[in-house]
Amino acid sequence: MGVLTRTPLATLSVLLGLVGCAGQAGVDAPSAHAGHAAGAAHAGQAGAEDRRLLVAFPDAMRTHTLANMRDHLLALAEIQAFLAAGAYDKASDTAEQRLGMSSLGLHGAHEVAAFMPEGMQAAGTAMHRSASQFAIAARDASATGDLKPALVALARVSQTCVACHAAYRIQ
Shortest distance, CB of residue 143 to ligand HEC, whole angstroms?
25
CA distance linking residue 168 with residue 110, whole number of Å = 18
Q: How many CB atoms lie within 10 A of CB 5?
A: 11
For ligand HEC, the binding residue among 127, 137, 141, 153 (CB under 6 A) is 127
Closest of 82, 121, 79 to residue 104, by C-alpha: 121
- By CB under 6 A, residue 70 contacts ligand HEC: yes
- By CB under 6 A, residue 107 contacts ligand HEC: no
Closest of 75, 62, 80, 65 to residue 102, by C-alpha: 75
Stretch of 84-92, 103-111, 132-140, 156-164 contacting ligand HEC, by CB under 6 A: 156-164
Stretch of 78-86, 101-109, 122-130, 137-145 contacting ligand HEC, by CB under 6 A: 122-130
Q: Sign of dihedral through CA atoms 16, 30, 55, 103?
A: positive
Q: What are the residues whose beta carbons fall under 8 Å from the beta carbon of 71, sequence distance 6 or more?
A: 98
For ligand HEC, the binding residue among 53, 83, 123, 150 (CB under 6 A) is 123
Query: Phi/psi class of residue 39: alpha, beta or left (left: φ > 0; alpha: ψ in -120 to 50)?
Result: left
For ligand HEC, the binding residue among 79, 93, 160, 166 (CB under 6 A) is 160
Which residues are at the interface with ligand HEC (CB under 6 A)? 66, 69-70, 72-73, 76, 99, 120, 123-124, 127, 157, 160-161, 164-165, 168-171
